[in-house]
Amino acid sequence: MLKRRNIQYSYLRLLQKIKNFLFSTQSREFLIFLFFFFISAGFWLLQTLNNDYEVEFSIPVRLKGVPNNVVVTSENVSELRVKVRDKGTVLVNYMLSKNLVPITLNYTDYKAVNNHIRIYANQFEKQVAARLSASSALLTIKPDTLEYIYATGKAKRIPVRLRGTISAGRQYYISDTLYSPDSVVVYAPTHLLDTITAAYTEPVHLENISDTLKYPVSLATVKGAKFIPDKTELTFPVDIYTEKTVEVPVYGINFPADKVLRAFPSKVNVTFQVGMSRYRMLNGDDFVIIVSYEDLLNLGSRKYTVKLKSAPHGVSNIRISPEQVDFLIEQISPDGH
């Protein structure tokens, strides 16, 4: 309580000092000085911006209407550097603007020579000027020539594959990786097309996932090739681990027709971890435990360590109890007795 009172007292003292300063003669003189300072600065800024200047800024440029079987192999120019002269007030708007409409060039409007399209500045200068104020003088456009080199490719459909590392949080696991779409069409020259067997995503690295996740990602570019579409959405279904135990019979393999295995016990317990969604689906028939006849012949004791021949997909941390069984190779008569 005392501490709170001290804080309130200090706050009131500070408030009183500020009030005394604001109503003092020195404060009024300072505020008057600030007022005239900002007025002067404003006039100076307006006077300065009223002069003519030259400035360079960028305008986005896009090539549209490219057929699917045309693969642009040259490096695409994504923007034009435009230099203009005008009053400062106009130029400030250009520099601050982030929503300039892109210059759009239509592929079908230009003639190609040997798979090489050249578009000169005078062919898109009107589009640039249309984005400028009427008072602005257009001085330069860089580059003054846009070049697009392309190849006409053949196509095939290929699967999408993940590139990266994905890990779930503790007690969780990722049961699958789903792609939408799971395949894309790739266009490329024949010699390159033959080498492309899958479309890989850009590297994806995700850790400690604890819930089903949808993750859009672009496909990694291959020089000289074009993917349609060039993006996919990854879905990582996440499930929580639980433990289950099932009883599995022990089978003998590679035994001669007149011999049969007698194992003690004849069944073992298999304990494993599995996702909650598959818990009820799995039973002992999904596992195969074997005893090999050849191994028994070379064994120097009556105990054999059983082997797990097969297990269903998606289970982990498999444990067998008991790990060893006693056995007897029983000779059977030709009549089966």
pLDDT digits (tens, 9 = 90+) for 238-271: 988 889 999 999 988 888 888 888 889 999 999 9
pLDDT at 41 over 60: no
Contact 120, 145 (CB under 8 A): yes
Token duo for residue 21: 């300063």
> Could you report the per-residue pLDDT of 208-227, keeping only the tens digit for each?
998 899 999 999 988 878 89
Pairing verdict, β 103-106 and 52-64: parallel
Place of tokens 């672009």: 218
> Could you report the per-residue pLDDT of 123-182, keeping only the tens digit for each?
888 888 887 777 777 888 888 888 887 778 788 999 999 999 999 888 888 888 999 999
What's the N-to-C CA distance of the chain in angstroms?
A: 97
pLDDT at 94 over 90: no
CA separation for the pair 260, 254 (Å, rounded)? 10
Radius of gyration for the alpha carbons in the chain, expressed in angstroms and rounded? 39
| Average of per-residue pLDDT across 23-43 | 60
CA angle 333, 336, 337 (to 5 degrees): 70
CA separation for the pair 337, 331 (Å, rounded)? 9
Instruction: Give the percent of the chain with pLDDT over 90.
Output: 25
| CB burial of residue 127 (10 Å; 0-12, 13-18, 19+) | middle
Q: What values do phi and psi take at 192, rounded to 5?
A: -85, -35
| Average of per-residue pLDDT across 100-122 | 84
Q: In this predicted model, which residue has the larger pLDDT, 275 or 198?
A: 198
Q: What values do phi and psi take at 129, rounded to 5?
A: -60, -35
| CB burial of residue 294 (10 Å; 0-12, 13-18, 19+) | exposed
pLDDT of residue 336: 53
pLDDT at 34 over 80: no
Mean pLDDT of the chain, nearest integer:
82
Contact 212, 174 (CB under 8 A): no
- Which of 76-80, 99-103, 277-281, 316-320 comes out lowest in average pLDDT? 99-103
pLDDT of residue 4: 58
Which one-letter DSSP state was computed for residue 122? H
CA–CA distances in Å: residue 53 to residues 58, 86, 88 = 17, 6, 6
CA separation for the pair 312, 285 (Å, rounded)? 10
